[in-house]
Structure 1
């Protein structure tokens, strides 16, 4: 199967922790730990999208007492079950939910987000009609203060713009290409790999970004519905703001582990300086040997690697892969404009890296 993915990997072994005979169509997995001001609306909106043959698996991650009344109210719904997490932390909660789920399709939902429209039915119908697709997401509405947190608001916009599998594959090393609580996927995918807290080298990794990379590298095809079916609430208590697994260095470790240099093409680095070397370090530790650097000004290096300027970059087009490791927003915009002007093709001539 080609890396980057043209369809589902056909040969899947049986994982005994995931039942092979689904008892329902869709299982929605929602771990709950601490009370949030969005919990009530999150539960209500999710229940409103549940139909006959669907279930919601609530995972008790040592939830605090404030959650209990709302959870008990949700449990009055015949399609809702509560299971105790097998261990501490979100990943253990997710693994518990996966093991308990009975659906042919598995959907994610967070306790601080809101479902919109008829989300689960639309995603289920899409997977029913497109057997070549393994995971389907949707457009997402930013539920935060875009003035106070412009970076997170921009992230949602950028993810929404990745509306085809090809666009997602091209940007897969730069950031998460789908927002985690917006996804629904086939239960068979768990046999290709599941959530984990740490990679093979023992470093903390973002459980979703890490999983999407591993699935895409095994040929899983992603899709994104045009409908906006989730409100992604951004607030101070969100894990993505505070947990070390979501620090930039954790994303870089996941990307470096998943990256495989193209056969027959040298890898060059777009960017220069200490920040770029810090981004490059996890790749070097895994054996990546850059052939050279593309920088704004020529530099002399102790390792004698060549450093060329944009005026000379044309020699790389079609003959090398550029890893763009510039993080500055203004610099990223300039580089994108330059690459477009010089007819570099994303995915084959260059890749954006986290």
Structure 2
């Protein structure tokens, strides 16, 4: 087996170099000082392959030490390299390595597309309309996934037979209240409320660990830029003000050992972002050592895998549950709510929490 592993490692190095995923300069040693799985906070996945995975596997092979069993790195590669040249062939090679180490992983070059049905409309008047955006649905066409064919903006337009104007966004894996305007003028006026911080947003997040009863986090965040979508953005922008109020609603302990701990702890956290930075809630909760379950980029991969295996859960557990504002034209207080859905309520029940929609 050692010879076969060595062959795969050589092929992996060749693929990384062939597709410009190989780093020609040594990595900063500080990047290795991370407790986050795959060093997500300090290095890109391809850097981890080069400076951690290949290096450590080479050491095990050279010293004829025991190799890891029940090993599965291909699923992570499929997620992290999906938008990069060579990502598919690198993932296929890693799947062969996974199989050799005792766990067969079936990997498709692209996941099968999800077909979203009719969008649930939560609120509508002559100026605005709000939907319950499903997890996994992009708000509008993006450079980030050229293969996608379904977008909330186009789907809603076709559903109601009228053009709509997005006035804010939700990350693709986040579900919940998404508001659109029905005219450019209405979009302009509601956007001013967002700018003036006169719109209140409430989220619920299922996180690893016991959250404090209440905490207000005021931590500036450096803007996270995408290599494609943000190619021409300022790469040296100073960190931006970011504030979030967190309240713990529920806590649970399960007698299941993960890593070095004999039990696992989870919390349901109420989140009120006071600013609107990219991935603000996810990054702030990570800073508090309360990563959201299902968060690939800022989460805990061991607990993500636990929820996949025990709860068949494959989504980010972040829900935009409420949007509150004073209507720009009627001056009425508008409160729009989105349900958590049966899957989340079932998990609440399994964790020993209230499992009726009215409780949240």
TM-score by length of 2: 0.29
Bigger RCO of structures 1 and 2 (CA < 8 A, at least 6 apart): 1
With normalisation by structure 1, the TM-score equals 0.30
